[in-house]
Structure 1
Amino acid sequence: MRLSEYFVLNRTQAYLDFVDIPLNTDLAVFLVPNAIKSLDSSWGNELSSFLQSFFETVLRLIKNGDNHRAKRLLASLSEGNEFHLGYSVGKSRGHGFGDESADSVWDALTKSKAATSGLLQDLEDTALLIHGIGTDMISDAVCNILRRPLIKYTQDMCRYYGIPLTQNVESGPLWNPKKEVWETTFVDLPTTSYGKVILVPKVLVRTRLSYQYDEYYRYYLLPQMQSEHLRNQSSLVETLKNGSQRVTKKALMEKYGKDKLAVVEQTILKPYVLDEYRDAKVESPSSPLSHEQLSELEHIEKPDLNLLLDQLKSLPVGRETAEQYEDIIERIVSVILYPSLCNPTKQHKIHDGRKRIDITYVNEAKGGFFYWLAMHYSAPHIFVECKNYGKEVANPEIDQLSGRFSPSRGKVGMLICRSIENKELLYRRCVDTAKDERGFIIALDDADLEVLVHEYMDSANSQDFNLLRQYWKQLVD
């Protein structure tokens, strides 16, 4: 049973911001550091600082010989069942740094030349350089280190989707980056007959780690070693019939080995290769899982956007159905704009609650229209106002949305309504708002939403959004 089924949310994975976990086992996806480091938002920076703080503390203690305290910090990474991510078959159980392998992990870290030489810089490096550490262990460690911000995320998502929270649930160990200690407290969390649950954003999970030691060894280290042996004309150099020379990767692995110990030994001699590998991963971060990939992993149907369009067309106009209209819009927008926009907040309060925004999204785009937008304009968030009007929207609605903008929150929004009788006039008003430096508003109606949906489905889920680019061009030309 999935969490969405347990709490009768009437939503499948595509319409949820978090991973719709199975409650009685694990889902084979993982929370990986590289995905977190690729986030550009303030929340992403917070998550990265938590990870870096913990790992730097452990490494510093090891280098200073305070192995007892380092071991105690690692032992607190005992994996809880509340995340439900990983390889477990049957009842959820983790492979964290703090379970029965804690001693071996601590022993490997304290004895590894990678730790003592300074090669290790963050948690994901251990997958390359420390024997016995793999994807599931790192994912479990990340979940535990980020437990505090993930509990806050869980509470926000529960309020957003109407999931009941149970008060005074034991939090489990919470990392305190300032004090460099683990703490525990009581918090509000969703609970089920299977236990408490902590949710994870689907935009952050992957099916494997970004760092793979065999990839690093074969495609980064070994080519450097081949060049070195050729320059030095070592005994591994072969001369072919045509006179050319080569050093095979097979010969190098037979001489130096092909396990993580060999990787560490060669990286100590050529640390710049590891820097190149890290830089390559930063420049090309792994992509979030698509709706299709998640559907396949979870054995569920893909989202049916045509059904939502039919519901939209049949919905009566007026105040009485305004909430239903907003719900349909939110479902459509959350599907087609994922993974560019995520972490939605409904009826987001600003100015001490005096103003509300129907839906606010965090802009985490790594390509396409919203990425371009963030590179050139203030767009850390995208604001969406929904108007189930049977009349022409005009200046009051434009002023209402532009009044929500600010340099820190962002100055881009979408005004979505049922129909626009005079689109040219409305966009002249939006242009006036932009020229007055009060922000940029893209106005859309039911017909535009249908175009966006089909554009999305016909372009293999592309995030380019030609229609949005076309309307944006009207605002800034």
Structure 2
Amino acid sequence: MLQAEGDGGGMRFSEFYAIDRTDEDTWFDPDLSVDTALFAAPAKILHDHSERWTPTRLRLTGFFQRLIEAIASGDHGRATEFLRVSEPWQYRLGFSRATNLGISSEIRRGAFERLASTVKGDPSIEVGDFISSIKSVDVISDITCNLLSEDLIPYTQDICRSHNIPTMSVHVPHARWIPESETWEGGVRELPIDSAQGPIILIPRNFLLGREVPRGSFRESEFIPFLARVLEKKEIGQVTTSERISRSAIADITVATETAVWIVECEGPAPQTHRRLDEFISQIQRIKSEAEKGKYRDLRKKLALAIPRQLSSGHKRYLESHDISVWDGPWIAHQAALGGLSVEAARFLGGQGATGRNTEASRLSERLSTLPSGDGAEYQRLCQEIFEYLFTPPLNSPLRESRNETGVNRRDFIMPNYTQKDFWKYLREEYRAHYIVADPKNYTGKIGKEQVLQVANYLQKHGTGLFALIICRNGADKAALITRREQWILHDKMIIVLQDADLLQMLTNKTIANDPEEVIRQKIEDFRLSI
């Protein structure tokens, strides 16, 4: 069943720079960790008649008039140059894509074909009518943001001066449109930066289309029809929602062609543990088995998991090894843009954090994936870096190799848990997780009973508390799982086993501004519900 996820957003610009906003601060206050699903709207800019934005209005109309001329003359190459813009992630708006390479060739080609059908060789078409014909608000927003950078960079600099915000010299791609040569030009500009040294460009709130919606504020009964509309726009087959396959099986969505049928199951929050992935595989394969007996028995069966968030590459590969495609947030956002459904998609997909610019998560994932088994010290050091990146704040920085008073029980690292809200507060109150004890084990095989007992000895009601994480490469054997169960039932000690796949999923969550602790939450739920 699809359930709503938490907001999961990060720090806003005003919080990062400790700004006390007044009524004069009419700029949009972006979340620095995730792209907010709002869109720069040319129509709103053209209807702002203040003197400051007169050059902006002229630049907008001039750009689109030239684009209309190029399309009307059938000059595909010239028109394509107008659309060859970069993903303007400096604004933290719209839907981020898998990379920051800008509008894909598929969207550019589709946009040109649709715009050509609108212009129909007539260069006198009104700019407003032409802009309205561009159905993808994400595409038009990307173009507009790139085009407005020449005006909005000085606007941002004025805001920084008024609030004494420091700036740095940073490179901005497509910082200026040159009408004479009809080309884009990048350059170095003075701008404020975020904690990852990424530049920030601010925009007036009244230039934006849409409203901020907490990510995940929807029900399954709403998400399935939306996804069905996205699939209908693709025109790949007959789309049916909540189709009864048999007396005991109902598919969330089916897409039938003459030779094949897609069976699509929607899940949310996304299954982020191997147990949940295995349960999903069993569920959808059971529906497939039922379909073999009914009206689809003569068609080839294709399976897909549809989720509004994003799975790690390892979890994707695991599903794909069972012949299950993954239609996640970035895939759905891309298809929604092609079908002109970006505004509607915003409610379900949120901003989908800017994965392309999160080099720290990529660096840590690469180190984890390439580190060989056996080197305990290096694995411990890496796990500590990953946990500090994921959870500090709200947790305090890790304390390494802490020993108790007797010097016998050593904890590889612990993270003090003083936070007063959300998941970590719940852990402290429910599982006495005053400190998060983490014990990395860089073993080639699975951990055993001895390793669980060793960690259990660390946990004391009047010491670190009763919650611990064992971090290992390949999970736990049967004896370890039995011992873990006994420690919980007999001594109230909650010991969660994480492996590399779990860490990689946490890092993926972090890049899209989803809660990395969602993995731990699901692990606890899986364990408690198995007893």
Same structural fold, with TM-score higher than 0.5 when normalized by the shorter chain: no
Shorter-chain TM-score bucket reads: 0.3 to 0.5
| TM-score, scaled to structure 2 | 0.34
